[in-house]
């Protein structure tokens, strides 16, 4: 029998860019409408580096929440070569800081303050291994000679595996994985290594971005890969394996900065993320595993309770994609996978 309705515990988003100010006010309601909690990325300008920065950013998010919305921002700190282990520990002990984010210097949007010399963050990583605080990793090398399509696989060999070997016990989220190499590596990493997967990497390959014209709203980092890697992402996500869970990496940029001779990286998926996800799981015949991926595996890794509330998704005629949302920081184009999606959140 074909399923046309699905009720699951409310999902969380384990990788989300909310930005700040007018942009945040515009995009926040779209995440809060569907997700109970989200891991909030710290790549503001300037970045969220100290526990005090995170406390203030959290207050700004809570203030911007629409009346009557229940949404819990889970704060992260941006790891720099000057990060003070004691400050991170105090932030984590107080319950404010849920993870630390590692951006290799220059890897992606607003990552100029990221880490170049890994020896300089050894103290922080060791403290994190002792206390169990997760490290969220943007897994791409930035050496100019490494091809953009190889940067994730090279990162595993050159950076991630060495860090994990020299820091036993470090709990790592390899974020927004895009390759079969990453899915395989994470699968062999035991309980301390997990991965998040985005909507766009489940639905699209690089042909979608480049064949018949360049589609800037599909440009994100890590960049979309070939179809066989997309298939590996779908297999991992729909497997039921608690190693993999949803992190949308919804990353809003104003339309003019995307449709530009040097366009920004990031797909704004938040408003349609759950509809798209249900479509992917339905196509894979894996609707039974959707709740695990969207609502259970993330909390299990982060030591958080599963949400009490439930949401219901219903299958019907293809949904209308919003096109764009208006914000005081300009219009933001909403992700559209370019094919019909039949699931809506009630």
Residues near ligand NCD, by CB under 6 A: 17, 43, 108-109, 138, 220-221, 249, 251, 265-266
Element (H, E) at 101: strand 97-102
Query: What is the smallest separation between the CB atom of 314 and ligand NCD, expressed in angstroms?
Result: 30
Give the separation between CA 79 and CA 284, rounded to whole angstroms.
Answer: 37
Query: What is the smallest separation between the CB atom of 333 and ligand NCD, expressed in angstroms?
Result: 13
Query: What is the smallest separation between the CB atom of 57 and ligand NCD, expressed in angstroms?
Result: 14
From residue 225 to residue 254, the character string flagging contacts with Zn ion as x (rule: CB under 5 A) and all else as - is ------------------------x-----
Query: What is the smallest separation between the CB atom of 74 and Zn ion, expressed in angstroms?
Result: 14
> Whole-angstrom distance between the N-terminal and C-terminal Cα of the chain?
21
Q: How many CA atoms lie within 13 A of 240 on its CB side?
A: 6
- For the question of residue 288 being annotated catalytic, the response is no
Residue number, 76 or 167, with CB nearest to ligand NCD: 76
Q: How many C-beta atoms lie closer than 10 Å to residue 131's C-beta? A: 14
Cross-strand partners of 313? 6, 345
Residue number, 249 or 282, with CB nearest to ligand NCD: 249
Report the partner that residue 220 touches, choosing among Zn ion, ligand NCD, none (CB closer than 5 to 8 A by kind). Answer: ligand NCD
Residue number, 18 or 128, with CB nearest to ligand NCD: 18
Provide the sign of the torsion angle of the four alpha carbons 277, 281, 287, 292, taken in this order.
negative
Residue from 320, 318, 323, 321 nearest 342 by CA: 318
From residue 190 to residue 229, the character string flagging contacts with Zn ion as x (rule: CB under 5 A) and all else as - is ----------------------------------------
Report the partner that residue 265 touches, choosing among Zn ion, ligand NCD, none (CB closer than 5 to 8 A by kind). Answer: ligand NCD
- SS3 label, residue 174: strand
Q: Does 72 bind Zn ion (CB under 5 A)?
A: no
Query: What is the smallest separation between the CB atom of 212 and ligand NCD, expressed in angstroms?
Result: 22
Give backbone dihedrals phi and psi of 250, rounded to 5 degrees, phi first. -55, 120
Residue number, 25 or 249, with CB nearest to ligand NCD: 249
**Burial class of residue 70 in the structure, from the number of CB atoms within 10 Å of its CB (0-12 exposed, 13-18 middle, 19+ buried):** exposed
Cross-strand partners of 115? 104
Report the partner that residue 284 touches, choosing among Zn ion, ligand NCD, none (CB closer than 5 to 8 A by kind). Answer: none
Give the separation between CA 214 and CA 262, rounded to whole angstroms.
Answer: 12
- Which own/partner pairs from 57-63 qualify as long-range (CB within 8 Å, at least 24 positions apart)? 57/20, 58/96, 60/20, 60/24, 61/18, 61/24, 61/28
- Choosing from 13, 53, 87, 249, the catalytic residue is 249
Report the partner that residue 109 touches, choosing among Zn ion, ligand NCD, none (CB closer than 5 to 8 A by kind). Answer: ligand NCD
Positions touching Zn ion (CB under 5 A) are 249
Catalytic residue annotation: 249
């Amino acid at each position: 029998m074909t399923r046309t309705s699905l009720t699951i515990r409310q999902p969380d988003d384990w990788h989300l860019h909310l930005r700040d100010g007018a942009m945040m006010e515009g995009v926040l309601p779209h995440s809060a409408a569907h997700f109970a909690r989200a891991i909030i990325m710290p790549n503001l300008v300037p970045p969220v580096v100290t526990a005090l920065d995170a406390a203030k950013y959290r207050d700004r998010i809570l203030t911007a929440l629409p009346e009557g919305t229940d949404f819990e921002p889970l704060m992260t700190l941006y790891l720099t070569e000057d990060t003070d282990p004691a400050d991170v520990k105090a932030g984590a002990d107080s319950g404010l800081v849920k993870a630390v984010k590692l951006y290799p210097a220059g890897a992606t949007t607003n990552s100029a303050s990221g880490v170049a010399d890994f020896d300089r963050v050894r103290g922080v990583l060791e403290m994190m291994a002792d206390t169990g605080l997760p490290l969220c990793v943007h897994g791409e090398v930035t050496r100019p000679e490494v091809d953009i399509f190889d940067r994730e696989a090279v990162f595993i060999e050159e950076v991630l595996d060495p860090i994990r070997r020299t820091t036993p016990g470090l709990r790592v989220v390899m974020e927004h994985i895009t390759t079969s190499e990453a899915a395989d590596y994470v699968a062999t990493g035991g309980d301390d290594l997990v991965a998040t997967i985005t909507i766009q990497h489940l639905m699209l390959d690089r042909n979608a971005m480049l064949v018949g014209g360049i589609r800037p709203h599909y440009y994100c980092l890590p960049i979309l890969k070939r179809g066989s890697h997309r298939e590996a992402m779908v297999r991992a996500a729909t497997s039921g394996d608690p190693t993999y869970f949803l992190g949308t990496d919804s990353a809003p940029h104003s339309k003019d900065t995307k449709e530009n001779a040097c366009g920004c990286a990031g797909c704004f998926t938040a408003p349609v993320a759950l509809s798209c996800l249900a479509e992917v799981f339905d196509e894979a015949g894996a609707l039974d595993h959707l709740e695990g991926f969207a609502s259970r595996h993330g909390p299990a890794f982060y030591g958080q309770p599963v949400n009490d509330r439930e949401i219901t998704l219903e299958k019907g005629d293809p949904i209308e994609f919003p096109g764009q949302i208006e914000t005081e920081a300009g219009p933001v184009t909403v992700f559209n996978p370019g094919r019909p999606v039949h699931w809506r959140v009630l």
